[in-house]
């Protein structure tokens, strides 16, 4: 499935991800593992919880 974001936006995110991985390799790996483990929950829901939403708020 092709991304809807522009190539420029995708490249910017990729650059930022590489910078975080370089600065915090263990934390980055842990977060990647969390994404893989809970893939069925959906990346959007995981991102919302990472930014402070509670599971209860997501069910409203």
DSSP letter for 40, please. G
The Cβ-side half-sphere exposure at 59, using a 13 Å CA radius, reads 4
Element (H, E) at 30: helix 25-37
- For the CA atoms of 47, 51, 53, 59, what is the dihedral angle to 10 degrees? -10
pTM of the model: 0.81
Give me the pLDDT at residue 1, please: 72
What is the per-residue pLDDT across 1-49, written as a single tens digit (0 to 9) for each? Answer: 788 999 999 999 999 999 999 999 999 999 999 999 999 999 999 999 9
Query: Rounded to an integer, what distance in angstroms lies between the CA atom of residue 12 and that of residue 36?
Result: 22
């Amino acid at each position: 499935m092709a991304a809807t974001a522009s190539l420029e936006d995708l490249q910017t995110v990729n650059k930022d991800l590489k910078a975080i991985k370089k600065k915090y390799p263990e934390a980055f790996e842990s977060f990647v593992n969390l994404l893989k483990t809970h893939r069925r929950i959906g990346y959007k829901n995981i991102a919302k919880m990472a930014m402070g939403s509670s599971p209860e708020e997501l069910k409203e």
